[in-house]
Chain A
């Protein structure tokens, strides 16, 4: 069953078109790699799917709802409650500990601090970060920080996790460990993943891949049967 869909999405930055009729469907629980050369529009597509950017034209549907028609407040709530994010450079809040970073999405959703902290601990343990809960991002290695970011992305049990070059700043072995955890955790939680990457080794963790070329999406492998 389709959970997220882009239909004929167009978006330009000034006079430069980034997306020129992008179509994409993500099935429930599916892990989809979005590949393509630099500047092809893959990150822009992710931002439109995640409600960060609003397309100039076209439609974005999440669980049957047109999210491109939502205002900033509605899209913000969606991002907070239904989506999770992992970016290339962890982007942890530097003043907060690992545990506080992971608990943040739950706190923002109104979960009590004690419950949010307990849940953050569960995720830190699950991702092999027990013992590092009190450290700030400056006291973590790149791989550890990215695992904290992954825990933060999954702690609120999102329906879709958006990962934009999640291993781009890591060496090969650490990147593999992060991808193993990302895929394993997402599968366990039933979370669908949109994985933007230009690395075939990372994309190979996905169920299938699409290629973004000149602002359009090229699906080379069959979509899962609905």
Chain B
């Protein structure tokens, strides 16, 4: 899970309060799914328990939510390792798209119709993301690009599969 490591990474810039961490996390990484305060503080507690962060002395006159979290050497080492290791490419061998096409062919149902409908849904999402790209800032654009390249990969698969449906139908029905 990337939330603890991302919060640790944000702490490597500078010690922060939980509130500021949540704000920065949501701004960069939580567009679709902002963190709850409960999640932020429970994660920080676990990181403190594991020696990845320490809590500095509360500021004078500060309220109950003014604990500052500071990354430890152990935490910094973990962030460094995480940022330099490649993520294992996921094989995606058994996607829902694949399952729907294969099952349609097995059942003699119109797989081509499904692929066309799916293509239209993917293109609709591409249009929405293009609007985000054209109206948003560079961070929005970067996020939209990532999503669009994945959708584009699906669309290529859809087109290739549509072009080979007859042969696929023969093979799965053997």
Contacts and interface: CB of A to CB of B under 8 A. Distances in A.
Contacts, number: 38
Closest 9 CB pairs of A and B: A204-B126, A220-B120, A204-B130, A200-B155, A204-B127, A200-B152, A209-B123, A200-B126, A221-B120
Given A200-B152, A201-B148, A220-B119, 15 more contacts: A37-B159, A176-B133, A200-B122, A200-B126, A200-B151, A200-B155, A203-B123, A203-B126, A204-B129, A205-B130, A209-B123, A211-B119, A221-B120, A221-B123, A221-B124
Contacts of A211: 116, 119
Contacts of A37: 159, 163
Contacts of B120: 220-221
B116 A200 contact: no
B52 to A, nearest CB: 38
Contacts of B124: 221
B56 interface: no
A218 B151 contact: no
B117 interface: yes
Nearest to B117: A220
Nearest to B124: A221
Contacts of A221: 120, 123-124
Interface string B140-169: 000000001001100100010001000000
A180 interface: yes
Interface in A189-209: 200-201, 203-207, 209
Contact of A218 (B116, B123, B127, B133): B116
Interface size class on chain A is 10 to 19
A126 B141 CA distance: 23
B134 interface: yes
A52 B124 CA distance: 31
A218 B159 CA distance: 14
A200 B151 CA distance: 9
B92 to A, nearest CB: 18
Contacts of B163: 37
Nearest to A205: B130
B164 to A, nearest CB: 12
Interface in A168-222: 176, 180, 200-201, 203-207, 209, 211, 218, 220-221
A176 B144 CA distance: 13
Contacts of B155: 200
A166 to B, nearest CB: 15
A221 B124 CA distance: 9
A43 B68 CA distance: 63
A200 B133 CA distance: 15
Contacts of A204: 123, 126-127, 129-130, 148
Contacts of B152: 200-201
A182 to B, nearest CB: 12
A201 B123 contact: no
A220 B126 CA distance: 14
A220 to B, nearest CB: 4
A218 B162 CA distance: 14
